[in-house]
Amino acid sequence: MDPSSEDIVRRDYKHGKIAYGFQWNMARHRDLGNTEGDLASLWAHLLKIKNGVIPEDPFRDPFYGRSSKLRLPKMSSPAKLAFRRKLVRNGTVIKDVSNPLVSFIRDFHFQRDDHSFRADHSILQDFLYEDSRAIAIEVPVWSERYKISGHIDLIRFSDEKIQVCDYKPGPLDSVAKRFLDSIPQVASYGEMLSHHLSQTLRSALDASFLPKVECCIFDTHSCWRFDSNLFVTLEMTDKIVGL
């Protein structure tokens, strides 16, 4: 289905000095399902955002931090390498170079004969229109518990999971560093969205108690996937700086 302007709704938010354009492909969400399970919980949550029913303090109060500022603690290069290898070896992080997110960006560049392979974040709009699994972009999330807030680049539904996707473009030789450094930020998005979805009336929506949320960090070279509960693991083991 080719989306029209009527399929996609938009609401602009100004959080701090930055404007964010939340957009939701409601027609595609209906096609994927919106009456039961995690998709129904997501529908209820996105409907609140569409209608402006979100708190203001997490995005304006100086006592709230930005998820984008979260980092791993300082480590030596060997220690960081060992940490990254451990995440991959035990299956916590899955490297997926053939992921549809990667394929989409590559096709985007090939079609335009663009060999830079570094499209800016405006490509998120293309996902929303052309990716059959894309649901929403620039989705605000917040946590009163952790006193943080942020905006999810892209939300998709794939393999029966809600996907929290963050686009981190850059050269091939910096993929490992960029993606590893971004794990606390993106994991926090997954944790916050999981919390939002678990607050809906999940029993009435025929949903399991805990939503299935997967985080993805991607660019034109690769995609790293991990469960949203990685945030709690990192936080409990003092592996996040900035909370």
The predicted pLDDT at position 1 comes to 42
Nearest to 224 by CA among 149, 163, 173, 160: 163
**b/e per residue 171-190 (b: at least 16 CB within 10 A):** eeeebbebbbbbbbbbbbbb
**b/e per residue 112-144 (b: at least 16 CB within 10 A):** eeeeebebeeebbeebbeebebbbbbbbbbbbe
Supply 38's token pair: 């995690």
Q: What is the pLDDT along the chain (243 residues), one digit of tens a residue?
A: 455 556 899 998 877 777 889 999 999 999 999 998 899 999 999 999 999 999 988 898 889 999 999 999 999 999 999 999 999 999 999 999 999 999 998 887 777 666 665 566 678 989 999 999 999 999 999 999 999 999 999 999 999 999 999 999 988 889 999 999 999 999 999 999 999 998 865 554 555 567 899 999 999 999 999 999 999 999 999 999 998
The predicted pLDDT at position 111 comes to 76
The predicted pLDDT at position 209 comes to 66
The predicted pLDDT at position 16 comes to 72
* Cβ-based neighbour number of residue 198 at 10 Å: 16
Nearest to 165 by CA among 134, 141, 142: 134
